[in-house]
Amino acid sequence: MKYLNKNIEELHTLLKNKDIKPIDLVNEAFENIENNKELNAYITLNKEEAIKQAKELENKEVDNILFGLPIAIKDNIVTKDLKTTCASHILENFIPIYDATVVEKIKAKNMIIIGKTNMDEFAMGSSSRTSYFGAPHNPWDHNKISGGSSGGSATTIAARDLLFALGTDTGGSIRQPASYTGIVGMKPTYGRVSRYGLVAFASSLDQIGPMTKNVYENALLLNVICGHDDHDLTSSKKEVEDFTRLIGKDIKGMKIAVPNFFVSDIVNREIIDKLKDTIELLKKLGATVDYIDMKYIDNAVTLYQIIAMGEASSNLARFDGIRYGYSTENPKDIEELYFKTRREGFGKEVKRRIMVGSYLLSGKNAQDYYFKALSIRDDMKQEFTKVFENYDYIIGPTTTTTAYNLTDPMDDPRKSFLDDVLVIPVNMAGLPGLNIPIGFDKENMPIGMQIIANNFEEAKIYQLASILEKELNLNLEPKRGENNE
């Protein structure tokens, strides 16, 4: 009997009535992962501990809807006593001595951590191919990428290994792989979810978010992980709310904006067509849709290159082979310790980004570019605020193409950013954004739509997403083995 492709409410009832035990779900999750081993979704499995925890839960009251359910955690979120590698050689054997705030929250709900998911090294990439442990494969077509950087989390959810996964999103790293794999992925408002324990890539952009197969489960997981945290000065004091509360509510009279940039010729025709079908549906459901011009959003990728790389070069300076992590053998002096540890410990893309970030902050470049970028970023955020004075939502495609081949070249450094051109503006402005699947291309690869709302309006995003989910009623379960000869 398979349980983990059931909906959460069914599972909860089964657990509550003791028809099944948490251990059944844990065993099934590990079985699924084993069967899908070739997808390479995981870096580390937490088998022993998960089984132990599941057994302990048998004597506990099923006190919340997520009780006893397996969850996968992206491997850049630290877990005490459980290896956290960031998909990097430099942390290959790193065992954290504390839990991230989100992990504490998950444990408090008695969810069971199954393992740590594969990703781009230090979340730097958009196809998870920069992972030291090799890329995950797309469950819809094993020859294709799952996207990135949260590729492993997207893969395990799309493959229906389990119901819940956490991803992180700095420049689209939740929404883009969600789009490529046909799942729901939410990047919450900057500050909604504590970053304490998330290994920083770009501090002013990073945000942890839920990745699930449907909207409702996504909102439930956000309920658990959000809330103010004294350990994170950028964590919002905004009250915790029930993000499921608007799910299913009709969208009549809602005003939706589509920035012309989002449907410009940078986007694949098939995707635009699918988006336009969806727009027609939204209109039919009583929403109004306007195409608008927005200042600055076409600069977002440039700002991203300056700000994200700058912050990253500084955030990754701590990996020096002294206090933790990989350290080169027998350095002759301290400089050799630094230079060799970092040469040997970091992968190519990470080193490239550290070089770029260091360069753009060095000498007078900081004044010429970095501070200008911070100023433009401020105005870009205001531009979004202005749009939300008149509109409830901004929508657009999540990606410019569907998932491409794992063997496509990856040496064009700008390609990675162009993959994320539609998702990056949301991080720049700190807004919430969600990917919802809206159909398939002619190769049967999922197409996603991005829903953006004003700060802290995640519940409203779930509202629109849930209506689309219901109306479109897509079959989002990839057939195991199909397209995989």
Partner 1 sequence: MSNYIPTIGVEVHVELKTKTKIFSNSKNGYGQMANSLTNVIDLGYPGTLPTLNEEVVNLAIKAATVLNCKIRKQMHFDRKNYFYPDNPKNYQITQFQTPIGYDGYVEIELNNQKKKIYIEEMHIEEDTCKSTHRGTKTLLDFNRAGVPLIEIVTKPCMSSKKEAVLYLEKLKELLFYSDISDCKMEEGSMRADANVSIRKNESDPFGTKVEIKNIGSISNVGLSIEKEIKRQEKLYNNNETFKEQTRRFDDKLEDTVLMRVKETGNDYRYFPEPDIPFVVITDEMIEEVKKTIPMLPDERREKYKELGVSDINTNKLVQNRSLSDYFNQLLDKNTNHKIASNLLLGDISQYLNKTEKEIFDTTLTIPRFLELISLMEDNTLTSKNLKEIIDIVLESNKTIKEIMKDENIENITDDNAIREVIKQIISNNQESVEDYKNGHDRAIKYLMGQVMKETKGKANPKMAMDILIEELQ
Partner 2 sequence: MEDKLTKEEVLHVAKLARIDITEEEIEKYQVELKQLLNEVEKINEVKGYDDEILIAPWSDNTTLRSDSEGEMLDPKKVIENAPKHSGNYIEVPVVIGESEGA
Using CB distances below 5 to 8 A depending on partner kind, what does residue 314 bind out of partner 2, partner 1, none?
Answer: partner 1
Distance of alpha carbon 55 from alpha carbon 327, whole angstroms? 38
Least Å distance between CB 431 and partner 2? 8
241 vs 320 by CB, closer to partner 1? 320
Contact set for partner 2, span 90-129 (CB under 8 A): 94-95, 97
Using CB distances below 5 to 8 A depending on partner kind, what does residue 377 bind out of partner 1, partner 2, none?
Answer: partner 2
103 vs 174 by CB, closer to partner 1? 103
By the rule CB under 8 A, 84 interacts with partner 1: yes
The residue within the footprint of partner 1, chosen from 55, 60, 231, 276 (CB under 8 A), is: 231
By the rule CB under 8 A, 358 interacts with partner 2: yes
Q: Give me the DSSP letters along 149-173.
A: SSHHHHHHHHTTS-SEEEEE-SSST
Residue type, 147: G
By the rule CB under 8 A, 299 interacts with partner 2: yes
Residue 28: closest CA among 165, 139, 161:
161
Question: For this structure, is 173 an active site residue?
Answer: yes
Contact set for partner 1, span 248-307 (CB under 8 A): none
Residue 157 contacts residue 165 (beta carbons within 8 Å): yes
By the rule CB under 8 A, 371 interacts with partner 2: yes
Residue 186: closest CA among 6, 452, 385, 381:
452
Residue 173 contacts residue 209 (beta carbons within 8 Å): no
- Catalytic position from the list 74, 105, 109, 144: 74
Task: Give burial (CB, 10 Å; 0-12/13-18/19+) of 238.
Answer: middle
By the rule CB under 8 A, 320 interacts with partner 1: yes
Least Å distance between CB 78 and partner 1? 5
Using CB distances below 5 to 8 A depending on partner kind, what does residue 256 bind out of partner 1, partner 2, none?
Answer: none
Residue 234 contacts residue 195 (beta carbons within 8 Å): yes
The encoded tokens of residue 171 equal 């420049």
231 vs 480 by CB, closer to partner 1? 231
Distance of alpha carbon 92 from alpha carbon 83, whole angstroms? 8
8 vs 199 by CB, closer to partner 1? 199
Residue 396: closest CA among 303, 264, 250, 284:
264
The residue within the footprint of partner 1, chosen from 95, 240, 317, 355 (CB under 8 A), is: 317
Distance of alpha carbon 131 from alpha carbon 87, whole angstroms? 5
Residue 478 contacts residue 139 (beta carbons within 8 Å): yes
CA distances in angstroms from 427 to 2, 317, 433, 446, listed in the order given:
38, 23, 9, 23
Helices 371-390 & 300-315 angle (0-180, nearest 10): 130
The residue within the footprint of partner 1, chosen from 15, 26, 69, 91 (CB under 8 A), is: 91
Contact set for partner 2, span 317-356 (CB under 8 A): 317, 320-327, 331-340, 342-343, 346, 351-352, 354-356
Least Å distance between CB 467 and partner 2? 28
The encoded tokens of residue 80 equal 């005490």
Q: Which residues contact 418 (CB under 8 A, 6 or more apart)?
A: 266, 301, 400
Residue 85 contacts residue 128 (beta carbons within 8 Å): no
Binding site for partner 2 (CB under 8 A): 94-95, 97, 190-191, 203-204, 230, 233-234, 236-237, 295-296, 299, 302-303, 305-306, 313, 317, 320-327, 331-340, 342-343, 346, 351-352, 354-356, 358-360, 362, 365, 369, 371-379, 381, 413-414, 428-431, 455
Name the residues that contact partner 1, by CB under 8 A: 77-78, 84, 86, 91, 94, 96-98, 100, 195-200, 202-204, 230-234, 310-311, 313-314, 317-320, 322-324, 334, 338, 358, 361-363, 366, 370, 374
Please identify every residue annotated as catalytic: 74, 149, 173
